[in-house]
Chains A and B, each alone.
Chain A
Amino acid sequence: MKGTGRFGCYAVCPQSIPSPMPNPNDPLDPLLDRWTGPADPSPSLAPEVWRRIALTGQGANESGGLWASVDAWLSRPPFAVLFVTCCALLGLFLAEVRVNRLQRERSVLLARSYLQLIDPLLKADGLAKSP
């Protein structure tokens, strides 16, 4: 007999499978006889369960909630790439700010040094002032 979707071969068993014979000395019998069914849950069970769930959630939030969420974000490749790119851009920006500030400071000094380079009278002043 052919199946409809998958390849395979099926056979039909002409004899019915006999049901297992009941075992008169089954060790589970006395236990089953003693079992009376589940007891009714205490009325305070549900509130207690919810209280414990709330406590567990609160503890997790307090112990590492912020880091856990940061870690979860950084573990995603797109956000990781974005984070590293932002760090690189921040580094470049701060370097540009630093270079600009230093250039402003040195511009006057360089102009004076250049004038000393081309004017011996100013250079002699500088030599006289230097210890």
Chain B
Amino acid sequence: MKRGLLVLLLGVVVGFAAHVLYFRLHRPADPDSTDGQLAWLRLELHLTDEQFARISELHQASSPRLRALAAQVAQMRSEFAAFENTRRATDRVDFVEFARFVEARRNISRECLDSTRRLVLAAAGEMTPRQREQYLGIDSLAEAPNPHATD
């Protein structure tokens, strides 16, 4: 009686351990971290070690600049919101200030697009044509419905 019970328990323990170990080894990347996103890119595009190292380097090199630009864009948006609030409250528009604001925003947007384009082209230059095609189609993948959407 005892031996059968032991074998039963052993089977359950071995099955559970195999499940946990396999899941930990193959756990999908964390979407909130840069490393997780790059690991996902590597898996998705089947990048070799050399390609992954080079592409990671490109992303790490451009990351501070892109982050600074994102902060500038966010600041411009909040400034625009404040500008709009003032216009609604006082019903007056400082056109000179507004033109300067629009010009600055346009410059930042252009700079953002240029930075992104440079990074994408540099990363795509490290890829094979098939990988490049798949890489440039990532935006269509991102437009898929969110599986976590509640409504």
B contacts with A: majority SS: helix
Whose C-beta in chain B lies nearest to the C-beta of A126?
A: B70
**With a CB–CB cut-off of 8 A, which chain A residues contact B120?**
118
**With a CB–CB cut-off of 8 A, which chain B residues contact A99?**
22-23, 26-28
Q: In the complex the two chains form, is B7's CB within 8 Å of A84's CB?
A: yes
**With a CB–CB cut-off of 8 A, which chain A residues contact B73?**
120-121, 123-124
Q: In the complex the two chains form, is A124's CB within 8 Å of B40's CB?
A: no
The number of residues on chain A lying at the interface, defined by a beta carbon within 8 Å of a beta carbon of chain B, is 45
Q: Let me know if B85 is at the binding interface, CB within 8 A.
A: no
Q: In the complex the two chains form, is B10's CB within 8 Å of A121's CB?
A: no
Q: Which residues B58-75 have CB closer than 8 A to chain A?
A: 59, 62-63, 66-67, 69-74
**With a CB–CB cut-off of 8 A, which chain B residues contact A75?**
3-4, 7
User: Given A84-B14, A95-B23, A99-B23, A115 and B138 touching (CB < 8 A)?
Assistant: yes
Q: Let me know if B47 is at the binding interface, CB within 8 A.
A: no
**With a CB–CB cut-off of 8 A, which chain B residues contact A118?**
59, 62, 66, 116, 119-120
Q: Let me know if A6 is at the binding interface, CB within 8 A.
A: no
Q: Let me know if B89 is at the binding interface, CB within 8 A.
A: no
Q: Let me know if A127 is at the binding interface, CB within 8 A.
A: yes
Among candidates A95, A105, A108, residue contacting B141 with C-beta atoms closer than 8 Å: A108
**With a CB–CB cut-off of 8 A, which chain B residues contact A72?**
4
Q: Which residues A92-131 have CB closer than 8 A to chain B?
A: 92, 94-96, 98-99, 102-115, 117-121, 123-124, 127-128
**With a CB–CB cut-off of 8 A, which chain A residues contact B77?**
124, 128
Q: In the complex the two chains form, is B7's CB within 8 Å of A120's CB?
A: no
- For A112, A114, A128, which residue has the most chain B Cβ atoms within 10 angstroms? A114
Q: In the complex the two chains form, is A92's CB within 8 Å of B19's CB?
A: yes
A88 to B11, CA, bound (A): 7
Q: How far is the CB of A79 from chain B (nearest CB, A)?
A: 8
A108 to B31, CA, bound (A): 9
A72 to B8, CA, bound (A): 12
A114 to B141, CA, bound (A): 11
Q: Which residues A54-110 have CB closer than 8 A to chain B?
A: 67, 70-75, 80, 83-84, 86-92, 94-96, 98-99, 102-110
Further contacts, 9 of them, CB under 8 A, given A99-B28, A120-B72? A83-B7, A98-B23, A106-B29, A110-B31, A110-B36, A113-B37, A117-B59, A120-B73, A123-B66
The interface of chain B, by Cβ under 8 A from chain A, is: 1, 3-5, 7-8, 10-12, 14-20, 22-23, 26-29, 31-32, 34, 36-37, 40-41, 44, 59, 62-63, 66-67, 69-74, 77, 109, 112-113, 115-116, 119-120, 138-139, 141-142, 144-148
Q: List 11 A-B contacts (CB under 8 A).
A: A70-B4, A71-B5, A84-B14, A88-B18, A105-B147, A106-B29, A111-B142, A112-B142, A114-B40, A118-B119, A119-B116
